[in-house]
Structures are given as C-alpha cells and as structure tokens.
A and B are shown apart, each in its own frame.
Chain A
Amino acid sequence: MPITYLEAIREAQAKLLADDPRVFIYGQDVGFFGGAFKATKGLAKEFPGRVLDSPISEDAQIGLAIGAAIEGMRPIIEIQFADFSTCGLNQIINHAATMFWRTNTKCPITVRLPCGGTAGAGPFHSQSMEALYAHYPGLIVLNPATVEDAYSMLIAAVHIDDPVIFCEHKYLYYHLKAEALPTEALPVGKARVARAGRDATIVAYSAMVHEALACAEELAQDGWQIEVVDLRSVKPLDTDTILGSVARTGRLLVVGEAFPWGGVTAEVVARVATEGFGLLDAPPVRLNAKDTPVPYHPNLWGTHRPTARAIIGAMRELLHA
C-alpha cells in the first residue's frame, strides 16, 4: 500500500516513540487532534502522556525542549508552520545552538518545520526557513525531498546529539508517495544524485528536486542529459558530491524555493566558485523565489517560486552559454 511523505513522518515518529522512552512530542494541537497536518495522528492515544499539546508559545516550546534535552530526553517539537518558528528563533539560535559549545552539554532536540509554499497559503504559511538556521553555528538543517528520506532522516535527526532543524515540505505531504518505507538510507550529510547526466548539473533540495527532475525529463526529449543532485541536508552541505557532479558536467544551476538574497543557492555557488572554478565551462546560475513575500493567489504564487518551466528556461540559457 503506497505511503505518503506525511505518513512517513507520522510512521517515523511512531517508531521513535516505540523504540526510545526518551522521545516525546510537544507542539500545538499535536495531541488528541493529531496536528494541523495530521503528522501525529493517533500517536497521543498510542503513546499516552508522550504527545503533549503546547500553548501557542514557540519560544517556550523550544525552551522546554532544551531543558528536557539537558536532562537526557529526545524531544521532538512540532512548529505548526515553519513561518512561526521566528517566534522561537531566539531559543533555537542563541540557546540550543550555543549549548554544546558553551557548556559541553549536548542538546539533542529535533524541531520539525512544515515549510514551503502551497497554493493559497500566503505570506505567513509558506516560507522556507533553512538559510536562516543554516547560518548559525551549532545547528543541523535537514531537507528531505523523498518519502524515504522523510522517514529515515527524521529517525536519524532524533538520534543526532545536536539540535536539528527538520524542514518537511508541505507541498510534498500528500503529493509524494512511495511503495514502502525504506529499510536502509544514505547517511545524513550525504547528497544524492537523483538523476545522472553529463551536460549540466541542477543542485536542488526539498520540493525543488521534483521540479528539477521534471525539467531534466523534458530536456531529455531534446537529447540533453541533465544531472540532478538532491542536497538532502543543507547543513552540513555535501560539497564533494556537488563538485563531483560539476566535474562531470561543467555547468551548474542551483535552485531553491527560498528568497534570493544570500541563502543556500548562494552558498552552493560560492563553494563551487572557490573550490571548483576550473571545473566550470560557464558562469554558474541561481534560481530562487522572487524577492517579495510569498503571494497568496496561485496566479502569483506559481510565478513567485521556481517551477519546472522556469528551471527549463534557465537551463536552456545555461546550456547555450
């Protein structure tokens, strides 16, 4: 029976709760209600007392997780929408992220951020926050693009002894299906070549991997072989896999759903420019969302974020550069 990206996240949490008494879930509406997206459906009943509703207090949610982690627990915090994590930003970047370095005390918290745009969600329920968190030392930022990674990387995240920002894409929740849950996985920190090619490389992550794959599929009809690299984690960033791909293709397009200033796509281009300049046959290209808040209406939203069509346009220019 096919399993969705969202169900994989639910199953990962069920496994974590079943396997490890240190794990608990704390978030808004996660208890009996099962979460705004049903990522914790049925878990409060299956694991009494371990899936707790929180007040609307992102700062205190993260603060609670930090204290529990100091005492040896493995808290999972669900932030209802990634956008609201700015209300808990201080506890994440100044407290959780500095804990180990300052005090030699591990802070193994997992913060689940339902991120990315969906049609009609608008400026405050659509953001991609990964660049913000990746900027700060002491955090790990994961961005699963597949059902398999959503499952295995969430389990890995809770086992990691450091604070993890787990960016799960809302657009993939229901759209993406796999035949079964994975039994093995690439380690966290390794990127994945999602499609092999020789003419150009697209580096993408999260939902943009699927837009990039659609681009590669269409251009294949014209004889182009486009390689797609799925970053899987933006911090750590697997520079070696990126450079290996660029060494094969000589051309680089980096696609992200976040805002254009700085960010993950800029970091990838900077690393390739500084560490692999000689591998490039053409200037590297970035494709991001537009530099405005995320719009509400689908007519605007569909143009605000990179789509397969936009990626194809950028790629055609790059191939002829």
Chain B
Amino acid sequence: MPRNSSTSLSSCIVAPGTLNTPVVWGAESSATWEDLATGNIFHYRADDYRGRSVVLTTIDPFAAIAAMIQLDGVARRIVLYPPDLLFEHLAFVAETAAADFIVTDQPVPEAISSRMECIVPCGRKAAGEDVVSHTHNRASEFKTEWVLLTSGTTGLPKLTVHTLASLAAAIERKASASPSIMWSTFYDIRRFGGLQIFLRAVLTGTSLVLKGAKESTADFLARAGAQGVTHISGTPSHWRGALMSNSAHRIAPQYVRLSGEIADQAILNQLRLQYPQAKLAHVFASTEAGVAFEVNDGLMGFPADVLAQNPCVEMKVESGTLRVRSDRTAVCYLGRERQPLRDGEGFVDTGDLLELRAGRYYFAGREDGIINVGGLKVHPEEVEAVINRHPHVSMSLVRMKKSPITGAIVIADVVLKTPQSFPGGATQMQRNIMQFCRGELALHKVPALINFVPALAVAETGKLSRRYA
C-alpha cells in the first residue's frame, strides 16, 4: 500500500491490541512504540521544535527513536548523527544543517554549546505522569527532511537528504500488524541500513530488538534468540562476526538479510548452512540510492533481468556503473559546493562497478576507489593526506585489500623521504606511521599494513595511478 506522503511517523504507530503489543527491546530496557511516541522527551516543549532543524546525537537509542517519532512532521529537519562518528564533526554538521537544536546525552564541546541550544532528553514517561499527547493535535504537519551522514572525500561527512516517504517507499505496509514477526539488526539505527529496519518495525507495528552499543555479538545473539527474533539484518561483516562468535546458533531466524557491502559466495554459503530454514536475501541499497533491489537465490551478484523487474525502481548500467532512478533515492546533499546527487534525468550514479558474466551481474568494486571496511566507507585520499603529513613520508598510495573478516581492509604503499636512514628500522617506522594515523583517523581508516616502496607510478594526468575495482 503506498504511503501517504503527508503522513508522519507518529501517526503510523499502531495502537496496541490486547495481545502481542509490539515492543522495542534494548540491551538494558524496553518500551512499547506507543510509550516512545507519547512519553515526551522534550520536556513538553515539542512546539519549540516546530519548523526547526534538529541534530540527534544520543548514545541511548531509545532517546533517538523517541525523538525521531516525536519530531517527524513537527521539525523542518532531523539530522541523524551516529554515536560512533567522531564528535569533532558535530560543529560542521550542525552548521551545514543550519541546526537550531542538538539533542544529546553526551557532553558537547563549548564551541557548539555556546552557539546553539543543547537538549538533554529527559528519558521515558515517569509512572503516574499525565501524558499530554502532542501527536494528535497538530495544527500543520511539516514534510520533515531526514538527513543521514555518509563519509566524504575530505574526511568531513556528507549530509544526504531524504524524506520519510523516500526512506519508507520500499517497505510493504500491511493493513494490520504482524505479531509473528520480530525484527532485529546488527546496524546502529542512525545508519541507513539500521534506519530501514527501525522503519520496517515501526511502520508495520512489529517488535524490534536493538543491539547495545557496548554489547558483544555473542550476548546480543543470545538476547535476540531468547526474545524470538524472526527477521534480522546486517552487513556481510556483521554476519562473519556472528559466525565467528560461536553464538550464531542462538537465533533461529526466518529471514536473514545482508546489505551495505558486497555479499560474496562464501558468506552466503555459510549462512545457508547455519540457517537452512531461513529466507536468505542480499539487498542492494545505499544512503544515496535508497533500497534498489533484493536478491533471493543465494548466489552472489544478481540476474541481469533484475534491472528491469521492478516498475518502481528504474535501473541501468552506464559507463560500467549502476544508476538508479526511483522515489526511494535521496533528494539532494546539503551544504555549499555539493555536487548534484542526481543527474539531469534523475538517476543516481551509485559508483558501483558491475561486470556482466553469463547473464548475471557481479560487483567489481567502486569507481571512485572508496574502500568499504565492514560497511564503513574509507576514501583513500583522506588517509593519504594524513600519512603524507608524517615527517618521514614523501608520498603514499592507499588501496584496498580483500579481507575475509571485514570484506575489505585499508593498506598503504609508502615512499619515505630518506629510505635508508630512519631510526629503529622498517618495522618501527611502520608502527610509527600507523600510530600517527590512529591519532588523526577513525580506526577503520588506519592502514592495517604499510609497504615501503621506492616509488609510486604517476599517470599522464600527473595523478597517482590507481587501480580501482
């Protein structure tokens, strides 16, 4: 059923029946969707947010969920700032999003708190408290912009604008809630893959089990199994971690979903063996392109005719990369000097290179050389810029190496200024450069291995020769 684009998230909360009231389960607490929609985390000041731009950055996922439900249709813009993102980007994001408020449960740097109001969410509805439902008497509803962050070339995040309609367009709505389904995800719900699962659960009135930020994979799987999770999603790297945790048997899902990275045949086979009863799906989706399609045949890549199968999602391969046009793609990037997100015909270039072999397309890496480490993007240029600041380094080339654990990992070829004369020998210098990078970069961006090379090939363009794909 196509959703009415003027409908806000709170108006979709399914009223609990007498049985099987859907619940959100966290590592330490739980709440019903209705609790989250009506317990006012904004100190009953929801009207203050009407038409405003709000950045959500809380460690507590319940506060984030409550804020998303209560702000959609009220705020002009909701920015989802994942808790694992370096806090130093907060000022840039807040400025780019023209933020009026920051909702956070962490101490905020004074440079930000002196410029805009930081709201500490006041938690859940207290027992006996009168619930003032602000969700049913809205004078006018905003078509709220939902802003998700993705990794940018310069190291600053890119702000990608969606609407609830574009985020939810791939979700099949049912006339009544499905009490037999219980969703879960390894993703944080502030990232596109996790947000999709959160929206599936809230819009279809099903229960949801969230992984705690500090919860081990084994503990999470044990808890998810005990709750009776039936549908669960993660990146191939999440799933490899689950298989290695020796706790994969703790869940018995009916539906296992992979997204965010290329699913190789090994992980698909492993999951088929582990969960023979489950429907196994790998989904092609990205923050910019939205949810494009789902592959259910248990084989890596996808049949060529998938491109023409869904009338709602137009797809084509041009200059080797997959292009997508649909009402599920993001609308635009925020900020100055941003390139257009769609081309003149409305297609989003995913940048994912495809190879056609015997009627099936296979992913062959990224056109722009982005390295995908366990679902997190790394731009080689950003890492090179840091390595090149090391006092002993002349130049560097950062590239991808396949990893059986995280899909890909970052390695670097480095040319030293004076190769023969660095103190402590090669091993010491490698460790020294890595240590330098750890001080400047998120850990997944730090090269796992550094090779010292006498020179790097430079192409006729004057740029480093990169072999992408």
Query: Do these two chains really belong together in a complex?
Result: no
